[in-house]
Amino acid sequence: MDQSFELADSTDWLETPLSLLAPFESSLRCQVCKDFFDNPVITSCSHTFCSLCIRRCLSTEGKCPACRSSDQELKLRRNWAVQELVDAFKLARPGVLDLARRENVRIARGEDEIEKPTRKKRKVNQVEEEPQVPETSSQGRRTRSQRSTNSSTDDRTVPQIVPEVIEDSQDDEEYMPEDGLVSCPICFRKMKEEAVFPHLNVHQQEEEAPKKTPTKTASFGSLKAISQRGLTLPTKQPERLPAINYSILKDNALRKKLRDLGIPDWGQKQLLQRRHTEWMNLWNANCDSKNPKSKRILLQELDVWERTQGGHATAPSPFTTSNNVMRKDFDANEWSNSHDDDFKRLIANARKKSEAQSRSSIPGESSSSSGQREPEPQQGAGLLVNGAGVEFSPDTDANHVIDLSG
C-alpha cells in the first residue's frame, strides 16, 4: 500500500547496467498476479500461470486469460521447469541486483576509469554480434566461442563470474534453451519439452521402489542439491477435488458437501457455491505444489477469502455484490430484507449529515466531514455513500432494486 514499501519488480533492472534482465524477469512472472510464478501450470494453449491464478480465471470464465481459448482445469499440467527457473532466479536475484546497483554507484562516482577501455572494446563486440543473435538462436545451437563472448558482454559488470561461465564444461548441460531440449528435473536426461511430462511418470513409478541414482550430483554442486530437494515428488499426494455441477444440487446437499469437506457451510446457496469454488481452487492449486501446505493453512486462506470476497466481505459494498444483483436468480426481496438495516442506517446518516450541514453555516465543516469519509474504504457504508450518494433517498433506492432485477 505504502509507496515507499520496497517490492521486487522487473523494472528494478532498468536503471542498472543489466537492464536486459527486466524482460527476463517479467517472463518469470505470472501475467495475472504479476508476481513470480507460484506453482506454475501450463494450459492446453501452452500459456503458463500460477496454478491458483489460472484456476480462479477458469472457474470464472473458462478461458485462457492470455489468448481466450477455452480450457478446462482438468487439462492443466504442472510446469516444473518454470518452477525451478523461478526458484533459482529468486535465489540469485538479490545478489545480482545488489551487484548491478553497486556498479551503478561506481559509474556515477567515475570510479570505472580503468575499466573504460575494455568496456569500449566490448561494446564494439556487442554491436558486431547483435545481428548474429537471432540467426544463431534460430539455428538452435550456438558455438562455444559466440556464446562466451556474448556472456562476457552481458556480464561485464560481474567480471568474476565470467571465467566460470566460459570454462565450466558442465555449463553446456545446464544451459537449457540452447538446443531446444530441457533436462528432466529428476534424472537430468535431456529431452524435448513435450517429452518431459510423460517421462516424469516413469520416475513416479520408480519412486515406489526407490532406486534413483543421480548420475552427476557432484559436478553440479549446490544448485543441483536445491533442485533435487525441491523436485522430489511429495510422498503423499493430496487428492484433487472434483468440480461439482451446482445446478443439480439442492441447497442442503451442497451444504452437506461443504460440511464434509470441513469448510464453513453457512450462507445462501450462491455463497456456498462461491465458497466451494474457491476452496476447490485453493485445494487443487495446492495439489500442484511441490511442498503442499497443510489443510489448516488452506483453511486460513479460505478465511482471508471469506473476509475479502466471501460472506464476511463488506457485504453492502457494490464491489462485491453488484455482480449478484445482475444475476438472473437474484432475489430482490431477500436482498432488500437483508439490507434493510443498511439502507435505513445510510438514510439516517444522510439525514444527519444534511441536518448538520443546514445547521452549520460554515461550509468548511461539511466538506471536512465528507472528506473524512473517504479514507475509510474498508467500510461498505462509507463506500456506498461515496459511490452513490446522490441516490440515497428511499424512493430512488426502491427504483434501483426493481430496475435491476427486472
Partner 1 sequence: MFATKRLSKMQEHLPPGITIVKCDNLEEWQMDIKILDDNPLYLDQTYRLKFIFSNKYPIEPPEVQFIQCAASTGTPRTIPMHPHIYSNGIICLDLLGTAGWSPVQTVESVCMSLQSMLTANNRDERPAGDKEFIATNRRRIRDINFVYEDDNV
Closest to partner 1 by CB, 3 or 358: 3
Say how far apart CA 380 and CA 132 lie, in whole Å: 59
Q: Looking at 230, 238, 267, 318, which residue binds partner 1 (CB under 8 A)?
A: 318
Query: Cβ distance 342 to 381 under 8 Å?
Result: yes
Contacts (CB under 8 A) with partner 1, residues 41-100: 53, 56-57, 60, 65-66, 68
315 lines the binding site for partner 1 (CB under 8 A)? no
4 lines the binding site for partner 1 (CB under 8 A)? no
Closest to partner 1 by CB, 42 or 57: 57
* Set of cell numbers at residue 56: 480462479
Q: Which stretch, 155-163, 201-209, 237-245, 316-324, contacts partner 1 (CB under 8 A)?
A: 316-324
Closest to partner 1 by CB, 56 or 142: 56
Contacts (CB under 8 A) with partner 1, residues 164-223: none
Say how far apart CA 254 and CA 348 lie, in whole Å: 38
Cβ at position 404, least distance to partner 1 in Å: 7
CA torsion angle for 65, 70, 73, 75 (degrees, to 10)?
-110
CB-based contacts of 287, cutoff 8 Å, min separation 6? 237, 238, 239, 240
CB-based contacts of 214, cutoff 8 Å, min separation 6? 187, 188, 224, 228
309 lines the binding site for partner 1 (CB under 8 A)? yes
How distant, in Å, are the alpha carbons of 99, 123, 154, 218 from that of 109?
15, 21, 22, 42
CB-based contacts of 262, cutoff 8 Å, min separation 6? 295, 299
Cβ at position 284, least distance to partner 1 in Å: 16
Q: Looking at 69, 170, 308, 337, which residue binds partner 1 (CB under 8 A)?
A: 308
How distant, in Å, are the alpha carbons of 4, 30, 241, 307 from that of 1?
9, 20, 35, 18
Binding pattern to partner 1, positions 265-304, x when CB under 8 A?
A: ---------------------------------------x
Closest to partner 1 by CB, 33 or 299: 33
Query: 12 by DSSP, 3-state: which?
Result: helix
How distant, in Å, are the alpha carbons of 59, 207, 253, 300, 301 from that of 295?
21, 25, 23, 9, 10
Closest to partner 1 by CB, 9 or 173: 9
Spatial CA neighbour of 21 closest among 95, 83, 80: 95
Q: Where are the extended beta strands (E) located within 90-207? A: 181-183, 190-192
Q: Which stretch, 4-12, 150-158, 205-213, 283-291, contacts partner 1 (CB under 8 A)?
A: 4-12
393 lines the binding site for partner 1 (CB under 8 A)? no
Q: Give residue for cell 533492472.
A: 13
406 lines the binding site for partner 1 (CB under 8 A)? no
Q: Looking at 104, 387, 392, 405, which residue binds partner 1 (CB under 8 A)?
A: 387
14 lines the binding site for partner 1 (CB under 8 A)? yes
319 lines the binding site for partner 1 (CB under 8 A)? yes
Query: Cβ distance 316 to 380 under 8 Å?
Result: yes
Binding pattern to partner 1, positions 345-384, x when CB under 8 A?
A: ------------------------------x-x-----x-
Binding site for partner 1 (CB under 8 A): 1, 3, 5, 7, 9, 11, 14, 31-35, 53, 56-57, 60, 65-66, 68, 304-305, 308-309, 313, 318-320, 322-323, 325-326, 375, 377, 383, 387-388, 390-391, 396, 400, 404
